[in-house]
Structure 1
Amino acid sequence: MEKKLSANEVFELSKAFHNLSSVLGHYRYDHWEDLTPSQRSDLENKQWTLFNISSDLNAKSVLLKVKLIEQDLQTLQSATNAMQEVAQKIQDIKHGIRIATKAIAFGGAIYVGASTGNVGLIVSAASDLISEINA
């Protein structure tokens, strides 16, 4: 059975991207002295990219036309949950940057998948993000 993402599911996904953005910001400030200027800059750039993805999703600009099967929807919900619980799982700066990079790729996949109908791209990126968070 196929279904479209509901407005609430898009909202929860938006909140998850916002949460990850906030977590990266807190991590950056909490570990300021331990990070190089380059690492701080990289985290800040990724933080803003994730915040912008959250804002775009909150405006419901793309997702409502994507049709998902139940298994795909469960993967997206798992990615949403993982992003909301990520604060306790970031082990070090490299792990944080890898998580942020996978989350940005996931955000990009949402836009490409929504415009092309390639749900597999979205689900694959969500799975990669979940795996990195749990690494």
Structure 2
Amino acid sequence: MGTWGIGPFENDMAADFADALDEAAEDEREALVRTTLIRTVQTQGYLESPEGAEAVAAAALVAAQCPGGEPISSSYGPDEALPIFASDLQQLAAEALDRVVAEASELADLWDEAFGGPKWRQTISRLRSVVAPEPEPQEDSLFDL
């Protein structure tokens, strides 16, 4: 797999995924993102690198539509407009990202051996915090005492 950076679309598999999204009919694009995330979450055993890279790209597309999400600025990302995704994709994206960084993941193994591994993990962590933000702690009020 050709990889030239830590970004979600800076590898051959993610760029091919973006091309597939561009070639899909507009009403089929969300289903393609959903299917990619579900396939990753449901993978038993070792998650292969290509599937992991596609899941990261799909999760980045979901994150781009969330508050605090960054737009996809890579020239290797999709060119065609994407629909507004259903909100349930956020949790699915978080689960897929968790699977990608799990112990039985080739993509995680490859990045752990690479110089940029810690930065890649930070990128994944940032994406995850956007799609599934931690709830704000509740402040005690005088009425709760």
By the TM > 0.5 criterion, same fold? Answer: no
Specify which structure has the bigger relative contact order, considering alpha-carbon pairs within 8 angstroms and separated by 6 or more residues.
1
In terms of fraction of residues, the more helix-rich structure is 1
TM-score, length-normalised on structure 2? 0.29
In terms of fraction of residues, the more strand-rich structure is 1
